[in-house]
Amino acid sequence: MMVHIPEVLDQDQLALCRAAMQAAAWVDGRATAGHQSAQVKNNLQLPEGGAEHRDLGNMVIRALQRSPLFISAVLPHTIFPPLFNRYDEGMAFGAHVDNAVRQTMDGSIRIRTDVSATLFLSGPEEYDGGELTVEDTYGSHSVKLPAGDLVVYPSDSLHYVAPVTRGARLASFFWVQSLVRDRARRALLFDLDAAIIRLTRDGPGHPTLVSLTSIYHNLLRQWVEA
């Protein structure tokens, strides 16, 4: 299940990100890739653990915690500290699947990667190419979103970033361990929550809302891994 989450960051937050990233000392992005992924990864990355990485990552996490759509789609247990990358002209990331387990450099956080996320920090007009493409049983889905928008998708999906042919593509990327491990169950809960929200809007006070909300929380109670 891919979900587009618009306007996670506002214009002031984007400007702060862009200014910090412009002044940053970039490193080879293969530093955080697994053995297989490193063979197809060609990009730049903010050093993990640096001041820019820490401050910008905290800002992104605070923004995510204020997003009802993100919470509904992902049901986050633990968010891995967001990382930041840059693709200049000619750079790309070939087809790969994200590592099943991610751990911070200091070992303080270790998660099972259930959901992968890309937060676009460059607008689509600023670069050519650079589409994120995710493959599933229904085919290939290419994504190139406005700056400040987020896309989330299952971490076990094969995906890649197409070569950038003009400009620079800036983004934040991270992983989430969900309260609900199974992606089909997460999708069912997401659809049910969306139906409850629509009914609340279109038929406030409808008695069915109590039943649907009870079903949602009782399913969550059965499936959650706290």
CA distance 15 to 204: 39
For CATH 2.60.120.620, the residue range(s) in the chain are 3-178
Q: Which architecture characterizes domain 3-178 according to CATH?
A: Sandwich (2.60)
* Residue 20: predicted pLDDT: 92
Nearest to 112 by CA among 145, 143, 58, 156: 156
**Residue 24 — φ and ψ, nearest 5°?**
-80, 160
Nearest to 18 by CA among 58, 67, 56: 56
* Portion of the chain with pLDDT greater than 90, in percent: 83
> Which CATH class name applies to 183-223?
few secondary structures
Which residues make beta-bridge pairs with 178?
Answer: 76
* Residue 33: predicted pLDDT: 65
Name the more confident of 32 and 113: 113
Question: Strand order in 92-96's β-sheet?
Answer: 41-42, 92-96, 158-161, 132-136, 139-143
Q: Where are the alpha helices (DSSP H) in 66-159?
A: 68-74
CA distance 60 to 146: 16
Number of H-type helices and E-type strands within the chain: 6, 17
For CATH 4.10.860, the residue range(s) in the chain are 183-223
Which residues make beta-bridge pairs with 171?
Answer: 85, 120
Which tens digits make up the pLDDT trace of 185-215? 999 999 999 999 999 999 888 889 999 999 9
Which band of pLDDT confidence, cut at 50, 70 and 90, is reported for residue 84? very high
Q: Mean pLDDT, to the nearest integer, of 6-16?
A: 97
Q: What is the pTM of this model?
A: 0.94
* Residue 34: predicted pLDDT: 63
